[in-house]
A and B are shown apart, each in its own frame.
Chain A
């Protein structure tokens, strides 16, 4: 038994951290977020493709690396740490669905190489519990409305979830931008009445759901770990009443709780990732646990990061809010907490 990463996985972590530090520093991320309508730096995206990150879990035959959920967690943790803008996880998930469906070799190769972008279109409603008409596939066409399609305006291909199965829709499609509290996101609503190809049964999305939980959970882990480091630095530098504020027990105990959250999330996320990769019987429960716990923990950790920075923590200038907002996106998408709780009960037979 071993919890630590293997040598290869540790190398992947190191090289990803270096790559993202060089390619996606926060000043650049801020420019992309605030000025680029697509929300992606094309050059960075090209390099992500070139270095094999987009094809991380895609099979080698399609130009992918054929790696598993643990490696996805490693990369996503770093993506979270840098607050990388763009649909990284979304494209990896779309590629995994294309690979599982089969018969889409050319498209999959294009997605892995960054020549075309594919994302999943899943949400039928804007608000939880809203009963809207479901998007359906019939007679070679897909009809309906999908919301919160990530980076949908610049996507070439949508993989649309319907009760009949996963449908492939190619551009052009009409999109309406949705602006959320996270300025890095480029969600859209898509009105669909398009010719479509049925890729396979809706169950294809089950495996993607588990990878999504691992990937989003790992990004949340990266965000929390980064904010804890940032906050620890701050409380040791910032002084009040003639001492660093980190010397006050009122903060120390809360910082200890932040560490508890970070480390427990780490246990849960990597256990889930390993279970998915190993085909372990506890994978479904592990994934639901990891995502639900990571989401809940991010509230505490990100919230405390703002609080402990005081006034500066409430400014646009400080980077903390970028992470705080990203965490909110990750918490409610990729299977929100309520959904994960249901999945957990189901997996445990409760």
Chain B
């Protein structure tokens, strides 16, 4: 056992810290509560920030050298996420492009697709959204029905995607669509579609936070060129599965840094309000312990990656752990703050340390998106515990 960073990784971390200290002018929290920023303005701010990271060589670090790679591994990426969280940097805007589509193109795309799409994806010039979920296909993703029919050298798309994160701002969407109605898994293909294609409508959806980070995308006889196909016809499901393996990633360390910071602010607020009794202290302590376990899980994953191990289905444990913890954390924050904790950011009397209500509402999302807690438990039951198929 050795949980210390290697000298090489320590150097990487120190360089990154120096870079962040020079280039990050204002923590994200301050940007968020700056009244002059509109929702669209914050998107542009994130785009500009992403460009700086790209120019400094911090995006696509683990990809082949010609696509921005610098021989980095998942270890550097996890350290990168942790340090960005520590510095409270704006979240990377094109996270779905870089996190999901990038690996898909590198593994399954053509040379031409890589050359066309990867550079503007990394620089933030083209923002991607993910067209997987449909009104009738959520956890049971393979029941998706958006169809793509080949007509000459074009696919004609019809159907609807929903819960499309970044849909309202994205330029492009990667779409899982049905090319064969008879074949549940083998009848799915993976297409790259420009959102201003005639026949496509994007509608904003208002979330429980009042924001519209996601939307719905409608396809009505939208024609996309055959060159938009990634892999072969019918390979979409396989590609999506490789892509989703990346989505699970290694975020525990970075998240633990954010929770620890928010916990320190919560504890300071309690002291300020004279909330120093045993009941409140126990609640804070339980959050601290849970946050440290999250950190321990993150350190373990990081060490395993550094030791050359590939994360398997047990990474579902990390997804459940942080998303369920997020709910406990945000509920407890409102508990110990009392009624004032429910004041929204713009209200008179709202605290300016953390946007407690926004975080509280957002915590309801983590156990649903990118594989709900129920789906993650199914994965653990089947693939880690080897329990029999349900009902048999």
Contacts and interface: CB of A to CB of B under 8 A. Distances in A.
A243 B391 contact: yes
Chain A interface residue number, banded: 35 or more
A246 B391 CA distance: 9
B300 interface: yes
B297 A1 contact: no
Interface string A232-264: 100110000001101111001101110110011
A350 B267 contact: yes
A243 B387 CA distance: 12
A121 B37 CA distance: 62
Chain B interface residue number, banded: 35 or more
B293 A268 contact: yes
Interface stretch (A182-190, A199-207, A281-289): A281-289
14 contacts: A1-B306, A3-B3, A3-B299, A236-B388, A243-B392, A247-B388, A248-B390, A256-B376, A264-B293, A266-B300, A271-B3, A271-B300, A278-B4, A350-B288
B375 to A, nearest CB: 11
Interface string A282-314: 000110111011000000000000000000000
Contact of A345 (B3, B284, B384): B284
B118 to A, nearest CB: 30
Among all A-B residue pairs, the 3 with the closest Cβ atoms: A341-B285, A252-B381, A1-B306
Interface in B1-51: 1-6, 9
B264 to A, nearest CB: 7
A350 B265 CA distance: 10
Contact of B282 (A2, A255, A341): A341
Interface of A: 1-6, 9, 70, 232, 235-236, 243-244, 246-249, 252-253, 255-257, 259-260, 263-268, 270-275, 278, 280, 285-286, 288-290, 292-293, 338, 340-342, 344-345, 348, 350
B150 interface: no
B11 to A, nearest CB: 14
The prevalent SS among residues of A at the interface is: helix
B264 A350 contact: yes
Contact of A267 (B296, B307, B387): B296
A57 to B, nearest CB: 16
Contacts of A266: 300
A112 B210 CA distance: 66
Interface in B221-240: none
B377 A244 contact: no
